[in-house]
Amino acid sequence: MILTVDIGNTNTVVGIFKGEELIESVRLESNRSKTVDEYHLLLTDLLDLKAIDIESFEGGIISSVVPTLTGTMEKAVSKIIGREPIVVGPGTKTGLNIMYDDPKEVGADRIVNAVGALKKYGAPLIIIDFGTATTYCVIDKDKNYLGGIIAPGIGISAEALFLKAAKLPRVDLVPPENYLNKNTVDAIKAGIIFGRVGEVEYIVKHLKEEVGVTNAKVISTGGIAPTINGLTKAIDIYDNNLTLFGLRDIYEKNTKNRK
């Protein structure tokens, strides 16, 4: 079995693969104050709860956009699997040709998503990850990672509105029934949700035109993705576990010659 860990700014997702099958996944808070021992105990308890035999792990892999958590989680995972996990970064084999001005600037999560999406859906692709930031990544028909767009995530945008406008209440991030609303709560929901739908449709349209990938599949992932998907035809496929599958694929690329 393989232990996969994706550390995001808000959440950390842990996946357990048996062969190519994702048999368990758990979402945790990305808590920067936890120690190695605390994460080790947390992960061990989770594995016990899921009746996962720790002795069955052959290895592990981590992607992270939170540098202060990377080393902590690496040590915690090492204590569980009995060896150092792969940490996605410079020098990791991905099979991607990254066309960024400086490839090292591309976040590990974006690379991992691209690897996972390429294997599952082929190219060309546009991948939208609705996380703490909303990221758009473009892969052309030759599997070149061309670049993309980084926008404030829907949660960040909502929080900024509440913090800066004293009289506006916090609201659940669910769409209202109407575009035109006559109460503050639904008016805020409409602005936040429908505004993001408009962003997606505009950006996807212009990315396809600019890069010449009009036939690209548009894949979405991330917690709020199902809500946005239901409001637009610009997104073709929702894949909740895209990052975990990408991690598994990268693990295979970096270990197959050692088996």
- Mark the binding-site residues, compressed into ranges: 6-13, 100, 107-110, 129, 132, 184
What are the catalytic residues? 109
List the binding residues for substrate: 100, 107-110, 184
List the binding residues for K(+): 129
List the binding residues for ATP: 6-13, 132
**Look-up of token digits 């990850």:** 129
